[in-house]
Structure 1
């Protein structure tokens, strides 16, 4: 405090540094951090999607290779089966031709041989164009005859028949053998492409597999050996029935292999990543808001502290300037005032011949000199920092004495004094300063009611403090202006310096107390002063 006063005396000014809005900087930093996290999570999702698409495309290529290999195997198997059937039918026909050369067959004999051989029927066409067939009701089409050509296997899908012809030994006529192809067709279906595609569909991770005709082939590209756009393997995400599927399209011979891959694990992982991002971003946002609020709170406290120091420095500068002015006033004005006052008193005493009019004029001049002297004294009291000497004081007795001094004046102004001195204990305070504080408050309250009213004075103890309460009507300002009345030179009276309550506040601060103003109802002012029971302990705690 002494250094502050010295700085004030030296004309130094403590300025508040220009503070950056750190809470905004904090929010910007956390916003930038959230943006970085968003970028990282977006990169992670994109990387996951690219990895999934690459694996799905590789999986589709593997499927294409498997299907292509299986198709080749199916073609080879179908050729081998047809070759076996051809050999079987040819051998059976040649055996029948041999037996026919030994002894011609009857229909029943051919039926019996066909049954034993597993054939559906045998037809012998002799040189005279006569035919014998067994069994007679065998479903051998009429088109199967010697004109079919020897050494070849014929397939009739409508009748589900494989047929072969072998010429008779004498060279004229032929033997026709027939075998049912339904069982062989079922075998071909089991090892065929459609069966494979159907079995692949529904396997783990595969939604569908199909082969589509490549209608997008460019003849010019085919002629030049260049690939058309649809002949390049590619993959894309599509929506099918409310779910997302990774559909790959891979060249498959002259066609396109279309495979739909399940994306449930990919979508679940993507959703989990975004949920983690929103959770993490929410935590960062909450931390950013909380941290910014804390920084703003600390900055507000720091700013308030700087402003308080500025005000304190301004008060000290004002007190220093006022002290110098008070000294000059005391030197330049008080001495002439004393001389004038003494001259007027001597004139009143030593001039008995003065008539009443001049005597009243002398009295008026003496009162003016006394008021001017009181103003000079108030300015001096306000300019000098109070230096309390702490002694034991009984507040109730002190307040009672002050009220007794103002009893006659209050009665003359019809101001009723209501007192409630509940605290009868002792405090450590400066008796003279405490009495001056109470007297200024009582005087201010009485002078505020020239047409009568009341003054309520209460004294109590609360939280280690003696609480003085003064309440009176006659307050003509707005409630928001209540605290202004303690400002130096602020007054609503025609006469007065406006320093009475300012001096009270300085006395309260010197005792480490607190002074507050309130307007409990319109036109009523309540002044509350809290003085610690022992200011020395309060100063140590501070």
Structure 2
């Protein structure tokens, strides 16, 4: 059992430093947990931003491709209608059978309708063109033009042959060069011009008025082109049912792309906003046309890069909102706002934070356990050291007392020896006769001798303090030991008028003892 000094050293020395160490560990691990949690949040936010940026880039590229595809398709349809309009102008309107040929062109080329209009926009009946047609003649108010422009089939050819020229060479034949099919002198829309036939411009073609231009237009689900006519003074408008073009635009348009993206897993909402922050397209149809008033969106427009933040929706869900300017042909036209759900990443974040917390708690437990063990061992070592120091000091004090006792015993033993010798001579040489009180004399000398023995025993005890006793155990008869003790105590008992009665029937009983004084 530890001594009081050991217990005092252990609790007094260990606990203050141990508590300070534990508090330091808690502070350090708490700071580590906080820093690691914030780093994790930054990593998750960066992950959301990168994902949102990638989705916005995909949406931007897909939108550009969709718009380009729609423009190419519209260009192809417009080119086909222009070919039909020019065919009608140069061959059908010049033919004596204009009405019949016009009907066949509409039917076989699957056109919605063809309109021949005067400069005021009034319809011109094909029969009127037939009445005014003939060699070297044009429609009402038209200038003279050659009956057969070079590089084109003559009006007398079969309509199928003429339509075959318009639509392309027959299968297996050598493709005609593009410039061979270009009409002379007709200005094309958006700055392009319809070039001349190979070999130079055809002579005799009248020039168009300066304000005459080719136009494209939409009329409901019909798409059409209008050109100034060469065969008569007026306009030829060719219409085609463009429902498939509208369906194509709807299938690959920006709204469809946004709706498809909005149905992706983890995407809460997608919206396209214009410069005024008005919603042009959205995965939520109810939001289209709504104007947003948000300083964050304006800052994102000014920044020109992906900006992100966390916000709560009206239904209480938390989303990560990423906003990036939307560009077409390297020109910013609006903003794309993408809301990503945070449920999956929130689960990952909670799991990672639990891992960080458990890791920190484990480190704390191990650190506290190690600190307790270290301080306990240190306190034990210090307590043992203090015990040894106390024992050494006690031994030093005992040694000093022993040295003093040895000196005192030496000084006392000399007169005691003289007294003991004198008493022995008095008992033997100077004892009185029985008549003079011999018994009383002997009794007193015996008492004096016994007291001298007691003083000698005290001296021996002082000497024992001076040198540590070493036990030398031997087996001695118990009866003999008790008899010696009784003999030593008999004088004291007699002095106290105590009568000692003994009955030492112990047989051969023995006791282990050291007989040395």
Alignment partner, residue 179 of structure 1: 241
- Contact kept, 8 Å, 1:395 with 1:425, in 2: the verdict is yes
Pairwise CA RMSD of aligned residues?
5.9
Structure with the bigger RCO (C-alpha within 8 Å, sep 6+) is 2
Give the conservation status (yes or no) of the 8 Å contact 1:167–1:173: yes
Are 2:370 and 1:309 equivalent residues in the alignment?
A: no
Q: Is 1:154 the equivalent of 2:217?
A: yes
Q: Which residue of 2 aligns with 1:68?
A: 60
- Please give the alpha-carbon distance, in whole angstroms, between the structure 1 residues aligned to 2:30 and 2:63: 48
- Give, in angstroms, the shift of residue 177 of structure 1: 1.9
311 and 266 in structure 1: CA distance in 2 versus 1, 3 angstrom threshold:
same
SS at match of 1:431: coil
- How far apart, in 1, do the equivalents of 2:499 and 2:452 lie? 25
8 Å Cα contact 2:56/2:336 also seen in 1: no
Q: 1:174-207 CA deviation, whole Å, 9 max, x = no partner?
A: 65524133x3233223433344445555769877
Does the C-alpha gap of structure 1 residues 343 and 238 become closer, same or farther in structure 2, counting only changes over 3 Å? Answer: farther
Q: How much does 1:301 deviate?
A: 2.9
What residue number does 1:295 align with?
378
| Aligned length, in residue pairs | 379
Aligned residue in 2 for 1:21: 13
The change in CA–CA distance for 1:349 and 1:417 in structure 2 (over 3 A counts) is: closer
Asked if 1:390 is matched to 2:477, the reply is: no
Task: Write the deviation string for residues 88-117 of structure 1: whole angstroms up to 9, x where unpaired.
Answer: 3444455567646644648x995x865643
Residues 495-536 of structure 1 show CA distances to partners (whole Å, capped at 9, x for unaligned) of xxxxxxxxxxxxxxxxxxxxxxxxxxxxxxxxxxxxxxxxxx
**CA distance in structure 2 between the partners assigned to 1:415 and 1:125 by the alignment:** 165
Matches within 5 A, 1:129-528: 151-156=214-219, 159-165=220-226, 169-171=231-233, 175=237, 177-181=239-243, 183-200=244-261, 209-211=270-272, 214=277, 215=292, 233-236=306-309, 247-252=321-326, 253=332, 254-258=334-338, 260=340, 263=345, 271-328=354-411, 373=452, 376-385=455-464, 387=469, 390=472, 392-394=474-476, 396=478, 401=483, 427=512, 429-433=513-517
For 1:205 and 1:371, the matched residues in 2 are separated by 111
- The answer to whether the Cα contact below 8 Å between 1:26 and 1:291 also exists between their aligned partners in 2 is no
Measure, in 2, the Cα distance between the counterparts of 1:381 and 1:151. 144
- 1:383 deviates by 1.0
Inter-CA distance 424–75: structure 2 relative to 1 (3 Å threshold): farther
How far 1:163 sits from its partner (Å)? 4.0
> Do 2:116 and 2:234's aligned partners in 1 also have CA atoms closer than 8 Å?
no
Alpha carbons 1:27, 1:289 under 8 Å: kept: no
Q: Cα distance, 1:384 vs. partner?
A: 1.6
Q: Is the 8 A contact 1:154 1:163 kept in 2?
A: yes
Indicate if the aligned counterparts of 1:57 and 1:235 stay in contact, CA closer than 8 A.
yes
How many angstroms apart in 1 are the aligned matches of 2:214 and 2:17?
95
**Which structure is larger by alpha-carbon Rg, 1 or 2?**
2
1:150–1:164 contact (8 Å) kept in structure 2 = no
In 2: Cα distance, 1:396 partner to 1:89 partner:
144
**C-alpha displacement at 1:258, in angstroms?**
3.4
**Cα distance in 2, alignment partners of residues 371 and 96 from structure 1:** 165
Give the match for residue 200 of structure 2.
none
Q: Deviations over 1:460-486 (max 9, x none)?
A: xxxxxxxxxxxxxxxxxxxxxxxxxxx
Offset from partner CA, 1:119-164 (integer Å, 9 cap, x none): 45556679986989xxxxxxxxxxxxxxxx98433335xx533344
Alpha-carbon distance in structure 1 between the residues aligned to 2:499 and 2:108: 150
TM value normalised by structure 1: 0.49
CA distance in 1, matches of 2:228, 2:366: 93
Q: Distance in 1 between matches of 2:92 and 2:502?
A: 157
Taking structure 2 as the reference length, what is the TM-score of the superposition? 0.51
Deviation by residue 1:13-59 (Cα, 9 ceiling, x = unmatched): xxxxx999367657756765776666567656655655565565455
1:85 matched residue in structure 2: 77
Distance 1:217 1:314, change over 3 A: same
